Amino acid sequence: MEQILIKNFKAIVNKEERPINVKKMTVLMGEQGSGKSTVAKLVYFFKTIREEILTPFIGNFLVTEDNLKQVIEGQIYSYFITLFGSSRRLTNFEITYSYANDEFIRISQIETGELKIEFEHWLSKLNKAIGLNRELKRLDNAFGDLERRERDRFVNGIVKIVNNLFGSTQLNLYLPASRNAVISLGNHLLEIYSKLDNNLSASNDKEAHRYMSENDIILLKFIQYNRFLRNKFLQSGNFQTFIEDEKELNPELDCTDSEKILTRIEAVLKGHYLNDSEGEKLTLNDNQFVFLQNASSGQQESIRTFQDIFLHVLYSDPVFRVIEEPESHLFAAAQKELIESLAILANKNPESQLLITTHSTFILRVLDNLLKAFQINDSDAERIIDRAAWLNFDEFAAYNLVNGEIEDALNQEFKGVDARLFDDVTQQISNEFDELLNIQYP
């Protein structure tokens, strides 16, 4: 089982040293400033270190037995300060991430104020990658199909070694809050962040890996992915044609679940998505449409999440996703459609994992129903909730972050979300209403 143990990092104090289990679906609940995004970014950091470690091995750098430790440590250090800023601003902390294959990385700040990164047990497992990296360098100036194919073979070999080290082949993405801004501002944001990224990449300053905001690199990657999604649907033009085109290429492709996602997408969008020479649109009927950048904030907020779900359900890809505040700008019925779509994505591939941060007790109620349907496991339950969206309690984790502490938000006896998370605020509001009635009718 994957888990992260956080001690005294930013808003997370965790005096009881309670680990957070990272399962097929993990939910973080809490008030503003409780540390949900910090935990989500930490999990994302440890899941995507795999990509950072790959960079020197398949790039223009020669990795040797002598510099291996320094190279890996440098990659991890640079990536950490990119996401979290300089450690000199932080109190002493310790964070340990344990992977599914029992490997781990530990990052701590020691008394001197320097970061300590523990990963030495990996080094012997990367020795073979050193040899492949050396061969890549030999082929760097080679041209011709044979050499290119040989180069691809070495790259694939290195990727396999690193993937085995992490026990994962997941495709990783962080979907930040305020996703609608990426739609409405579009290419303007991409241009700004691309310039920032290029300027920092050209700098030799070790601290230059830090962006102006600790969220910049996450937003930049999402903006780039936003452009990928927009272009992905440009040729087909819409979801249904996309399915038909894919089935033509692969007649054995099972599109049942992706068609379920499409039904949910159109229920939330209140129209049909269209991408043509004029741009992205939502068509309301044969004669009416609205350009996506002029659509409602809820439609803009959800479209990229739905496109991502649709694609990876269609292809059955193993994914890791962080989804911040999926409820943003959405009416309750639309929230339900989105959460059930995310559950279908999580279930589609046994390697897939989703981490959701939320303020919404309504989201928890929807998830609780999906857990209950799995527990009942009856055809009558299937008539109420699609079986593809049912959630196995053993593959589900939920935590409430309160005053720097991490509380388990599950009821182990009833195999669901702890009802107190639903009832506390509701009871407070109900009590206030009763008191007001007592004043009105003494």
Q: Please tell me the predicted confidence (pLDDT) of residue 306.
A: 96
Lowest model confidence (mean pLDDT) among 113-117, 159-163, 333-337, 407-411? 113-117
Give the CATH fold of the 2-170+318-440 domain.
Answer: Rossmann fold (3.40.50)
Residue 28, pLDDT above cutoff 50? yes
Q: Which residue has the higher pLDDT, 26 or 201?
A: 26
State pLDDT tens for residues 252-308.
999 999 999 999 999 999 989 999 989 999 998 777 899 998 888 899 999 999 999
Query: What distance in Å separates the CA atoms of residue 230 and residue 241, rounded to the nearest whole number?
Result: 15
Q: Please tell me the predicted confidence (pLDDT) of residue 262.
A: 96
Q: Is 16 left (phi over 0), alpha (psi -120 to 50) or beta?
A: alpha
Query: What distance in Å separates the CA atoms of residue 58 and residue 151, rounded to the nearest whole number?
Result: 10
pLDDT-based confidence at residue 418 (cuts at 50, 70, 90)? confident
State pLDDT tens for residues 173-192.
999 988 887 777 766 666 66
State pLDDT tens for residues 46-94.
999 999 999 888 877 888 889 999 999 999 998 998 888 877 777 899 9
Q: Which residues of 424-440 are buried (b: 16+ CB within 10 A; e: fewer)?
A: eeeeeeeeeeeeeeeee
- Alpha carbon separation from 155 to 43, 79, 130, 132, 135 (Å, rounded): 26, 22, 12, 8, 10
Q: Please tell me the predicted confidence (pLDDT) of residue 349.
A: 97
- Find all residues with CB under 8 Å of 180, minimum gap 6, and list them: 297, 298, 300, 301, 328, 329
Q: Look-up: residue for tokens 């739609």? A: 183
Residue 169, pLDDT above cutoff 60? yes
Helix (H), strand (E), coil (C) string for 6-31: EECECCECCCCCCCEEECCEEEEEEC
Contact 159, 54 (CB under 8 A): yes
Instruction: Look at residues 376, 441, 403 and name the one whose alpha carbon lies nearest to residue 34.
Output: 403
Q: Please tell me the predicted confidence (pLDDT) of residue 206.
A: 46
Q: What is the mean pLDDT of residues 235-264?
A: 94
- Find all residues with CB under 8 Å of 150, minimum gap 6, and list them: 139, 142
Q: What is the mean pLDDT of residues 356-365?
A: 91
* Residue spans per domain, the chain: 2-170+318-440, 205-316
Contact 415, 391 (CB under 8 A): no
Q: Which residue has the higher pLDDT, 199 or 360?
A: 360
Task: Provide the residue type at 287 as one letter.
Answer: N
Query: What distance in Å separates the CA atoms of residue 136 and residue 144, rounded to the nearest whole number?
Result: 15
- Alpha carbon separation from 323 to 222, 326, 367, 375, 404 (Å, rounded): 11, 6, 15, 25, 21
Q: Which residue has the higher pLDDT, 224 or 145?
A: 224
286-293: long-range contacts (C-beta < 8 A, 24 or more apart)? 292/183, 293/183, 293/184, 293/186
Ranked by mean pLDDT, the top range of 89-93, 139-143, 223-227, 369-373 is 369-373
Query: What distance in Å separates the CA atoms of residue 96 and residue 106, rounded to the nearest whole number?
Result: 4
State pLDDT tens for residues 321-346.
999 999 998 999 999 999 999 999 99
Residue 209, pLDDT above cutoff 50? no
Contact 162, 55 (CB under 8 A): no
Q: Look-up: residue for tokens 């990727």? A: 159
The rounded mean pLDDT for the chain is 87
Q: Please tell me the predicted confidence (pLDDT) of residue 207.
A: 47
Residue 98, pLDDT above cutoff 90? yes
Residue 132, pLDDT above cutoff 50? yes
Q: Please tell me the predicted confidence (pLDDT) of residue 208.
A: 46
Q: In what order do the strands lie in the sheet with 405-408?
A: 171-175, 319-324, 353-358, 25-30, 396-402, 405-408
State pLDDT tens for residues 421-432.
766 667 777 777
Q: What is the mean pLDDT of residues 157-177?
A: 92
* Strand residue runs (E) in 215-315: 272-276, 279-283, 289-291
Percent of the chain at pLDDT above 90? 54
Instruction: Look at residues 18, 3, 13 and name the one whose alpha carbon lies nearest to residue 34.
Output: 13
Q: What is the mean pLDDT of residues 118-143?
A: 78
